[in-house]
Structures are given as C-alpha cells and as structure tokens.
Amino acid sequence: MTTRAWTQTWAVTRVLRDRNAGLYLGGVVVSGFGSSAMWLVSGIWVKDLTGSDGLAALCVFALWAPTLIGPALGTLADRTRRRPLLVWTNLGLAALLLPLFMVDSPGTLWILFAVLLVYGAAGVVHDAAESALVATAVDKQLLGDFNGLRMTANEGMKLLAPLAGAGLYAAYGGARVALLDAVTFALAAGLYTLLRVHEPKPLTAPAGWRAQTAEGARYLWGHPTLRPLVLAGGTTMLFSGLNGALIYAVAEGLGHSPAYVGVLYVAQGVGSVAVGLAAGPLLRRLGERRFAGYGIALTAVAVTARALPYDAVVLASAAAVGVGLPCVLIAALTAVQRETPDALLGRTTATANTLLFAPTAVGLALGAGLVELVDHRALLAVLGLVRLVTVVPLLRTQPSRASASVTSDKSSSDANPA
C-alpha cells in the first residue's frame, strides 16, 4: 500500500472510530436512502397521474424553493439546541409523509406538492442544524474527512436508492415509497438521540429574527476566507445547472436514447464517491482554496471534453465531473464550520447553502433556454473556458501563513436533484 493510500485509509478509520461521527454518518446513510428514493419517485408519481412533464418538474421546484429563504430558516438552528432540533425535525418529516397515502388522483396532487414544499423547508433547517452540531460534536481535526465521507455516503445512496425506489413504486405505488422514507427518518432520529454532545442553552438575542438572519449574512460576506470560497461554489453550481440542462442533448448527440443519461449520472456518482474518500487528506495537503480551485479546473476540462462525440470520452468526462464538482462544496462547508463562531453557525451555514445551491435552479432554467438556440457542443466549450476563469481568484489569493497553519492543524451531479 502506498503512503497516500495508507494516509487515506487511516483518516477514514479515524472518522469511523469517532462515536459521534459514526452516528452522524449512519443517520446520513439511512435518511439519505429514503430521501433519494422519494425525490425520484415524486416526479414519476405526478407524471403517471397527469401525463404532464411540467407538473412533474414542479416536484423538483417545490424541493428547491425553500433554499431561497435558507438564511431565515437557518436562524432557527441558532435559537435552540441543535441535537433536539435534529431529532424532532426527523420525526416531523416522518409524520409529514404519511398524508401521501391519500394521493391517488390528479385532484389530490396538491397534498403531494404541499408535503414536498414543507419537506424542502425542513431539509434546510436540518442541514443548518446538522452542520452546526457537527462542528462541535466531531473532532475539529476530522471535519474535512467527515465532510468528504458525508459526500461519499450521499452519493452512494444516490446510486442505490433511486433503483430501489423505482422498483418499490412499480410494485406497490408511491405511498409505499413515502412510508419507506418515513421509516428512514424515524431511524435517523433514533441515531441522533445517541449523540454525546454538551449544548448550553442558546442566549436570547435582543435582536429580532430579521436582524439575526442579516448578522449571519454579514459575517459570511465580510470574511476574507469564506467569501471567495462560497462565491466560487455558487458560480460552480450555476454552471452545473447549465451543464445539467445540456445532458440530454449530449446523449442525443451520441446517438443514444434519453435513458443513457442514467449511465452518465452513475459514472458521475462513482467519481463523487471516490473524491469523498480522499477529501480529508487532500484538504490537509492543499488547503481549502487550492483543493476547491483544482476541483473547478478539473470540472472545466471535463465539461469541455464532453463536447467531443465519443462515448468513452463522455463517460470519462462524467466521472471527472463527479470528482471535481464536490471539491469546492466540501472545501466551503469545512471552512464555514471551522471559521464561524458557534452562535452564528446555523444561520451562516444556511446562508452559505443558499449561495451555493440556489444558482443551480437558475442555471437549469438558463440552460433549458440556451440549448434550444445554440448547439450544445459550442455551449459546452464556452462553459468550460468560462469556468476556468473562476479558478483564478482561488489560486492567486493564497491564505496567510497563519491561516495555512490552522488548516493543517484542524482540517480534516451536474444538477442531479436526487
């Protein structure tokens, strides 16, 4: 075994031996399985009941929409203890899914859309509370490794759960998939109750909800390390949305049916699983800025190569995108957890998530319009070159010696909605 492979294995083992980190990852795997299955099946369910592609697409919109008010929702994670909030959010989501047993006709679809909208909002609160609690419950030296493994767990579930969800839907219908998702949330809540973490009661802030929300945004925008990482991540996800809108044109250009897109997403997922395992050691070696910058550069080259009309190149490109795309997300999240005071961490994380992921929806909309007007190969070449430009601030502006020391000591699918 090489030195690099040994270091990577050692880092993974350290995370898994940490009791809180192991429980967290267990919760991510369990709830992520149900969520990935439900997110896919909701669109299929609407399509079967209505025959409308537009209404099926609204399922994705309902899940994404609450991200736009993420900073306000994330403030809740700073106003209460986070472990109980995680437990009750998971139990609430489990109960929320049960009314879906009444969805059996186009006239009852409003129930599904209402559930998905609340589901998305609860997910924003859950992510903010989880990220904030991880920063205190998990050893600071393991944060980068933990976030990488969390990415691996999420991507692994995206590879397995949609197939299981589609099979369960075909055999028993959408309500049974909702029940599966509810059970996974209940199991995740049980795992979170086992966490050992001391949380003092948050101090009552004299400012109102709006002022507290703005405080997190001001902190993020004014921080010299966090701002460039989050902006680079948001730009990357904007381009990811644009690329995602072109993927069906890529499949058609290769002479394949739309189903071939599933093969490309599997290749991308494999790449994301791989980089998640290596993220901790790479963060320690490179620091957040260079790790993010190299990932963006790799993604830019891969997107440009996707314009070539060869199956092997496009498959390799999908895997390379899977490797490169998560780098800036892992780097930004780890930096937010490390650099933000605990009292601000919930709302700052939610603000960062909004800036990182909301541009994906904008990119999808822009890409859907552009692909009808411009040849997809020309678009891919331009997007790849423009994406390279966004790397410059990350690689040119290096952290200070003190910042680099902190990183060393403490650190650790294109627009696929599932």
Q: Can you give the pLDDT at residue 138?
A: 75
Pairwise CA distance, residues 90 & 122, whole Å: 9
Is the Cβ–Cβ distance between 58 and 113 less than 8 Å? Answer: yes
Name the residue among 58, 109, 76 with its Cα closest to residue 364.
58
Q: Which residue in this structure is represented by tokens 């909301």? A: 358
Structure-token pair, residue 234: 């948001």
Is the Cβ–Cβ distance between 360 and 243 less than 8 Å? Answer: no
In terms of average pLDDT, the best of 62-66, 199-203, 327-331, 383-387 is: 327-331
Q: Can you give the pLDDT at residue 202?
A: 65
Residues with Cβ within 8 Å of 186's Cβ and at least 6 positions away in sequence, in order, are 90, 91, 94
pLDDT tens, position by position, 246-258: 777 888 788 877 6
The mean per-residue pLDDT over the stretch 398-404 comes to: 41
HSE toward the beta carbon, residue 99, CA cutoff 13 A: 14
Structure-token pair, residue 277: 């395992």
Q: What percentage of the chain carries pLDDT values higher than 70?
A: 87
Structure-token pair, residue 21: 């980190």
Is the Cβ–Cβ distance between 244 and 368 less than 8 Å? Answer: no
Q: How open is the CA angle 66-68-72, to the nearest 5 degrees?
A: 80
pLDDT category of residue 404 using cuts at 50, 70 and 90: very low
pLDDT tens, position by position, 279-296: 888 888 888 889 999 999
**Phi–psi pair at 386, nearest 5 degrees:** -65, -40
Whether residue 53 is predicted with pLDDT greater than 80 in this model: the reply is no
The mean per-residue pLDDT over the stretch 374-383 comes to: 85
Residues with Cβ within 8 Å of 73's Cβ and at least 6 positions away in sequence, in order, are 66, 121, 124, 125, 128, 350
pLDDT tens, position by position, 115-147: 999 998 998 888 888 888 887 777 777 777 888
Q: Can you give the pLDDT at residue 357?
A: 84
